[in-house]
Homo-oligomer: A and B are copies of this chain.
Amino acid sequence: MSRRTVVHDTIVIERRFAVTPARVFAAWADPVARDRWDVPGDDWVVCESEHDFRVGGREYCRFGPQGDARLCGEGRYVDIVSGRRIVMAGTMSDGGTVISVSIGTVEILPDGAGTLMIYTEQVAFLDGRDTSAQRTKGWRQILDRLEVELKG
């Protein structure tokens, strides 16, 4: 019997933005805006992407360091509440091998004149090919870029 592992974890990251919930929601909903910020690290690139932003719509993104964009996120939008909530479910692959299965929930809440955004990712990491620390680091970098996007 082969040695195979699954590690389950839940990542929660909160961010406050000085813009309205409608603007934060739009940064997720607009495919062009999304491709500007949803990549970890300034030296990483998005090579191919699809954001069919509707319930049941496909979400796909091939990305990675310049010249080695072999990571693929692929999934579906499962639930969308305009201005308020987005739930996505899918997989992350590295060179064709599935390394994790995730549910990503974006909650967008009014917070004074601004917004509290809570990103929750429930992840099953397969066969030790990725870790919760790595994934969390990636998301922090992505959300730093979202912050820059929202200041623009």
Contacts and interface: CB of A to CB of B under 8 A. Distances in A.
A123 B103 CA distance: 8
B2 A81 contact: yes
Interface string A78-98: 110101110101110000001
A79 B98 contact: yes
A124 B103 contact: yes
Interface stretch (A3-11, A35-43, A143-151): A3-11
Contacts of A110: 1
Contacts of A87: 6, 101, 124, 126
B105 A79 contact: no
Interface residues of A, number: 29
A132 interface: no
Contacts of A79: 98, 101, 126
A105 B85 CA distance: 25
Interface of A: 1-2, 4, 6, 8, 10, 21, 78-79, 81, 83-85, 87, 89-91, 98, 101-103, 105, 107, 110, 120, 122-124, 126
